[in-house]
Amino acid sequence: MTVRKISKPSKCRQAARSVATLLLATTCGALFTTTTLAADAIATASDATDTTDTTALPEVTVTAEKFSSTVQATPISISAFTGAQLQEQGITSVEDLAHEVPGISMRTAGPGETEYEARGLASNGGAAPTVGFYLDDIPLSPPALAQIGKVVIDPDIYDLNRIEVLRGPQGTLYGSSSMGGTVKLVTNQPQLNTFEGSTQGTVSWTDHAAENGGGNLMLNIPIGDLLAVRLVGGDSFRSGWISRTVLDPFPEENGTARGDVTNAPVASVTPGVDTLSIYSYRASVLFTPTENFSITGFAMYQRMVMGGYDEFDYPPGSQYLTHFEAFPETEPFNDTAHVFSLNATYHTGFADLTSATSYWYRSEFQSQDASENISVVNGTDYLPSFYSERDLSRQFSQEFRLSSVDNDRLHWTVGAFFSELRSVWNQDAGSPENDAPNSGGNGTFYYSWNPYQIQQIALFADGSLKITDQFKFESGVRWYRYQSHQIENETGSDGPVDQPPLETRASDSGYNPRFNFSYLPTEDLTAYISASKGFRPGGANQIIPPSNLPPYCTPTAPLSFGPDNVWDYEIGEKSRWFDHRLSVNADVFYIQWIGVQQAPLLACGYQYDTNGGDAHSYGPELEVSAQLGAGWSFSLNGAYTQAKLIHPNAAYLVYLTTVATKQDGSIYCPSGTNCTAPILNIPKDTASIALSYTTSLFNDWTAVARVSADYTGTTPDEAFYYDIVLPSYTIANARLVLSKGPWSGNLFVNNFTDKVAELTANNTAFSFNIPQLTRFSTNQPLTIGAQINYKF
């Protein structure tokens, strides 16, 4: 038996490329024949007087500032996508959307395992994220201590009204952990006196894998004149493309390094281990007992099950798309979430009084092969070993706010907020053959049961005033206080020895202000300048074993770390041209990041959190959309980000000058002066480009052909023993949609160049880390499929 090597194009790849080539040729051919018409449309657009022309770009309504406005009229950096746009572009997850939004990056190992960053503010340290995540008014927080990162619940996005992505600190209205930005998913609400529904069915095939499929259903059911129920359900399956290869014996060099796995005896090969199943159901109930009072209840259940990680081993590299093991250990991942909310709104006449109550609980479980890691760290023979991690989280939140209405010149919002997050980090590692001291007699390498609690309260006020018809001033402030509490209970032969449970606490309070001044000379131009502050709570650390016992950890971590905060300075513009056929939204930002929370990775495999010093991040962001005429539309988004740690403190400088190394073996800051280090997981440049063509066919059918490409530049990442640079990559997709009345069908080819990208290094490594092995998260290979949608 030999190790499978990916080389020869499969029939799926050949067929998909043929379809993609056909779509691309059709689009380019139409572009060639209509170039003159498109140019004439742009040239004469400035003379047009009919602003209701269907070729004008659509307006998107948002509620980013807690009142309804449009993207173009909101003087902050924001991107928004309607549900129709998401479906038209084939976007099925927030992870897909992140590639389309400038300034957003992510650290991912697949669905349900994605951590989001914005404007260079990485979340690799601390107990809270740098980007807030909301489902309607429900704040979705990641577990405080999960080794997988700051990953939030990944809701199914079928039947969404829109997704809003706000860049820059949103601390005034959205609180802590929104210092880089906020992602807000807005669901469609129940509709009174209207029965409607929609269905969707999808089937596809993935290269190096097999078939995929799924279906969704939505029903809106009115009950009398005062009550309506909206039900949404979905079920999907994705095949896997990563193999698990068991070698016997497992090759090693001098007992400390991985040998040549491509020429070792193969005991078994299990293809397609990274399967994915998602079951998602949600219900909303709207009750309007009076004209001025409404209550909306919401409930969601979602379960995500993966058979393994979307990761391949290096060495040997992406050409094998496999994980090598000494023993046949499975690596399952599952994520189960229950989400509930109750919103009540009363219209007082001059303002809306809203109560937003939410509660959710979540259970994540993953298990990881650790036989190679344990052998290298402890210097022992290979043992059948695995690490399992359970992250149990639940959060209650309550917000009261009063927002003004029916005043074009003055908008204001005041409110109070409370939340309590309780999470447990439970890790269990062992082997029946582990007879090391302090193994507890049951083979335990490591065991933890660490409850963590973060309680937050806040008072906030925010408003905008039109000083004149051209000048508007916005300002807000949020007072906050948080308390963190952790009980650390860890043991095992590779854990802290004779260490009783340790209780640590952290707390702080402060203010987050924001200021914004905008100039609107016409309805088609908004220019603004802003300054805003954001923060992230501090917290407590994991216990590090003493340096005189395995796994010989140094240095000892502090018991707690403090909060970090940012000041974001931004200047931007939003403009529309040629009777709204062209929009150009651009900004330049500069961020001062104080007390950056970092997670140094020790040679023994442990990590701890600390305030590493100060950093800065800066760069431009651009969004361009155009209706070119003759059925053509075009979009271009991009960002360039420079994010660096520029003033490490004395303790973190020791780490940078003794432990942190680059891939070539050199260390950061060898002289200890003028030390700078990149903020990890942040690509320097990203871009997205799309071209689509819409035309009418026979019998009132409409056809839309779309080709897009998403580019991510080189990205510094951390492989524990050294820092690496992930290479740039481009993912290209093509889509053809045919629609008539309530029906639409489409043919799609995703990743039609079959690019194998290195998305993240060791994102899931929660067992001991070793320099001999890096596991790269990767993307779904070339996938060809079809989808049918029906509305009634």
Token pair 């993307």 in the structure block, residue: 779
Does residue 355 surpass a pLDDT of 80? yes
Instruction: Please report which confidence band the pLDDT of residue 374 belongs to, taking 50, 70 and 90 as the band edges.
Output: confident
Asked if residues 665 and 722 have their Cβ atoms less than 8 Å apart, the reply is yes
Phi and psi, residue 248, nearest 5°: -145, 110
pLDDT at 385: 85
pLDDT at 26: 39
Beta bridge partners of 118: 104, 121
> In the predicted model, what is the mean pLDDT of residues 141-154?
86
DSSP 339-356: EEEEEEEEE-SSEEEEEE
Distance (Å, rounded) from C-alpha 358 to C-alpha 536? Answer: 21
pLDDT at 39: 37
> In the predicted model, what is the mean pLDDT of residues 618-624?
97
pLDDT at 588: 98
CATH superfamily for 11-49+62-791 is TonB-dependent receptor, beta-barrel domain (2.40.170.20)
Distance (Å, rounded) from C-alpha 132 to C-alpha 142? Answer: 10
DSSP 362-389: EEEEEEEE-HHHHHHHHT------EEEE
**Proportion of the chain in helix, strand, coil states, percent, rounded to 5:** 10, 55, 40
pLDDT at 589: 97
> In the predicted model, what is the mean pLDDT of residues 226-246?
97
Does residue 717 surpass a pLDDT of 90? no
Does residue 608 surpass a pLDDT of 90? no
Show Cβ contacts of residue 215 under 8 Å, excluding neighbours closer than 6 positions: 199, 200, 201, 202, 234, 235, 236
Distance (Å, rounded) from C-alpha 775 to C-alpha 314? Answer: 6
Does residue 15 surpass a pLDDT of 60? no
Strand locations in 467-611 (E): 471-488, 490-491, 502-522, 525-536, 539-540, 560-561, 564-577, 582-594, 597-598, 610-611
Instruction: Please report which confidence band the pLDDT of residue 660 belongs to, taking 50, 70 and 90 as the band edges.
Output: low
Does residue 45 surpass a pLDDT of 80? no
pLDDT at 659: 60
Instruction: Please report which confidence band the pLDDT of residue 253 belongs to, taking 50, 70 and 90 as the band edges.
Output: confident
Beta bridge partners of 508: 482
Lowest-confidence segment of 445-449, 710-714, 786-790 by average pLDDT: 445-449
Asked if residues 582 and 38 have their Cβ atoms less than 8 Å apart, the reply is no
531 phi-psi bin (left φ>0, alpha ψ -120 to 50, beta other): beta
DSSP 109-164: SSTT-EEEEETTB--SSSSS-SEEEEETTEE----SS-TT-SPPP----TTEEEEE
Does residue 47 surpass a pLDDT of 60? no
pLDDT at 576: 95
Burial 595-617 (b: 16+ CB within 10 A, else e): bbbbbbbbbbbbbbbbbbbbbbb
Does residue 19 surpass a pLDDT of 50? no
Does residue 671 surpass a pLDDT of 70? no
Does residue 148 surpass a pLDDT of 70? yes
Percent of the chain with pLDDT strictly greater than 70: 86
> In the predicted model, what is the mean pLDDT of residues 719-724?
62
pLDDT at 543: 73
Phi and psi, residue 381, nearest 5°: -65, 160
Percent of the chain with pLDDT strictly greater than 90: 59
Show Cβ contacts of residue 209 under 8 Å, excluding neighbours closer than 6 positions: 239, 240, 241, 272, 781
Task: Kindly list the distances between the CA atom of residue 666 and the CA atoms of 257, 548, 770, in Å, as whole numbers in the listed order.
Answer: 20, 27, 18
Tokens standing for residue 174:
């959205």
| Average pLDDT, rounded, for the chain | 86
pLDDT at 352: 95
pLDDT in tens, 486-529: 898 888 887 776 677 888 888 889 999 999 999 999 999 999 99
Does residue 590 surpass a pLDDT of 60? yes
> How many separate helices (H) and strands (E) can be counted in the chain?
6, 48
Report which listed range, 56-60, 123-127, 729-733, is most confident: 729-733
Q: 455 or 554, which is more confident?
A: 455
> In the predicted model, what is the mean pLDDT of residues 398-408?
90
Instruction: Please report which confidence band the pLDDT of residue 42 belongs to, taking 50, 70 and 90 as the band edges.
Output: very low
Token pair 């379960």 in the structure block, residue: 303
Does residue 612 surpass a pLDDT of 70? yes
Please provide the size of the chain in residues: 792
Token pair 């809270």 in the structure block, residue: 128
Residue 520 per-residue DSSP state: E
Report which listed range, 551-555, 600-604, 620-624, 759-763, is most confident: 620-624
> In the predicted model, what is the mean pLDDT of residues 655-662?
65
Asked if residues 735 and 727 have their Cβ atoms less than 8 Å apart, the reply is no
Q: Are strands 293-306 and 276-290 parallel, antiparallel or unpaired?
A: antiparallel
> In the predicted model, what is the mean pLDDT of residues 329-338?
94
pLDDT in tens, 170-214: 989 998 789 999 999 999 999 999 999 999 999 999 998 999 999
Instruction: Please report which confidence band the pLDDT of residue 607 belongs to, taking 50, 70 and 90 as the band edges.
Output: confident
Instruction: Please report which confidence band the pLDDT of residue 555 belongs to, taking 50, 70 and 90 as the band edges.
Output: low
Task: Kindly list the distances between the CA atom of residue 23 and the CA atoms of 32, 204, 347, 711, in Å, as whole numbers in the listed order.
Answer: 14, 17, 51, 20
* Single pTM value for the model: 0.90
Token pair 């490591």 in the structure block, residue: 446
Does residue 152 surpass a pLDDT of 60? yes
Distance (Å, rounded) from C-alpha 603 to C-alpha 349? Answer: 63
Tokens standing for residue 320:
């094998």
pLDDT at 387: 86
**Residue 460 CB: number of other CB atoms within 10 A?**
23
Asked whether the CA dihedral 255, 259, 263, 268 is positive or negative, the reply is: positive
Q: Are strands 181-187 and 131-135 parallel, antiparallel or unpaired?
A: parallel
Instruction: Please report which confidence band the pLDDT of residue 118 belongs to, taking 50, 70 and 90 as the band edges.
Output: very high
CA nearest to 215, candidates 284, 262, 279, 162: 279
